[in-house]
Structure 1
């Protein structure tokens, strides 16, 4: 399974923030650190905030911070949330029945099971297991 760059950066943002959970991060700071477009990262942070993983504050001393303890954030849940609009295959899309094999397909259920197993396996770990501290040796 391949994750989108959106999800990749979502996980990076959460891992980075988990390393210093009491420090707010601005989008500009994280974009510079990750060497990614500020606009792209702003969308990632907005999505993470909308689903309750981050709190954001505007103004001086503002920025984004974890809204939950790292131990409470399951990796699979994050991936499932950020990948929600990305169907693994066309037939998983709402109304996605363009494939001529759909009426008799035996692959769809296996792919759905594999996707569920992938998320379940990731959910065996929390964000606390993947904390990133840039200055650790």
Structure 2
């Protein structure tokens, strides 16, 4: 099972904001700290705002901040909202399923259980559990970061 990059970035943005819950910051600040595309993070921030995870203020002096307490934001719930189509096998998506054995296959039930178990484990943890301490989390951005030369290559 693999989460989309969109969900990964959404979780990272929420973690960054959880490390400084009383402060507002810009999408550019988050993008610069993670070394990822600001344009992509704007879309992520917009979706997180639509879902009620962050508050967004436009204009001069604007920015983003968490809309609630990190301790009340369950990771599984966040993932499910960012990743509504967790189709780990073809038959989970009825609109594109072409599998010839769907009607008699028992494996799909096992995959559904595994999918639910994944979310159940994530829901044992909250956003605040992902942050050792706000200061330590933010200090990591001051350290030299490992680079991955293939990260920004276009496929």
**TM-score category (smaller protein):** over 0.9
Alignment partners' CA distance in 2, 1:117 and 1:86: 13
Alignment partners' CA distance in 1, 2:40 and 2:89: 25
TM-score normalised over the length of structure 1: 0.93
Structure with higher RCO (Cα < 8 A, 6+ apart): 1
Where in structure 2 are the equivalents of 1:1-137 lying within 5 Å? 1-131=1-131, 133-135=137-139
Tell whether the 8 Å contact from 1:18 to 1:127 is kept in structure 2 after alignment: yes
SS of equivalent to 2:55: strand
Provide the aligned C-alpha RMSD in A. 1.4
Runs (4+) off by over 3 Å: none
Which stretches in structure 2 are left out of the alignment for 5+ residues? 141-155
Tell whether the 8 Å contact from 1:52 to 1:67 is kept in structure 2 after alignment: yes
Alignment partners' CA distance in 2, 1:102 and 1:22: 50
Which stretches in structure 1 are left out of the alignment for 5+ residues? none
Measured against aligned partners, the alpha-carbon deviations of 1:44-91 in whole angstroms (never above 9, x if no partner) come to: 111111111001001122111000100110001111111113422221
